Amino acid sequence: MLFYEHAEITNIDKTAPSNVTNVITTYSKETGKITLSWENPTDEDFVGTKIVYGLEDSEETTTLTFDKDATETVLENIKTGTYTVEIFTRDDVGNESDVKTKEMPMTIPSITSLSIPVAGISYAGQMLPVTIKGENLDSYLLY
């Protein structure tokens, strides 16, 4: 003989944690990487963050997951274009926040030509005039 008990559950958590705040992105021309930082919500049941990023107009994305203590990551292999970053938070029962989206236009320098006049070639330790042409060049040091 089978017996079934009926239990009423009235305390089901269906509330997602708050979103992250103060999202800051920094692009480094030297490394070709983006540093992404944020502040986590203070919800008691917050357990982590999920970040999905990719080039706008591309179907290829990368997904990263972090525990509740993470507040920064480095995005690598950045190409010229506008990146869309979607940030979600999640709680201990799996509720996920609405997306917080940040668009990051990344203009990566592109050198189209490098000219060294033959007349400028001289002995070590002397100045050598060099002309660099390209797009989005702010400043470079040549050694």
Q: Which two three-digit tokens encode residue 106? A: 């990344």
pTM of structure:
0.64
Measured on CA atoms in the order 64, 67, 68, 70, is the torsion positive or negative? Answer: negative
Mean pLDDT on 16-42: 87
pLDDT at 140: 45
Segments of 10-130 assigned E as strands? 21-28, 33-39, 46-55, 62-67, 72-75, 81-91, 100-106, 110-115
* Residue 30 or 128, more confident: 30
The DSSP call for residue 19 is P
**Position of tokens 């490394």?**
31
pLDDT at 40: 95
pLDDT digit string, tens, across residues 97-137:
988 777 666 555 555 555 555 554 555 555 555 565 655 55
pLDDT digit string, tens, across residues 39-88:
999 999 999 999 998 888 888 999 999 999 999 999 888 777 788 888 99
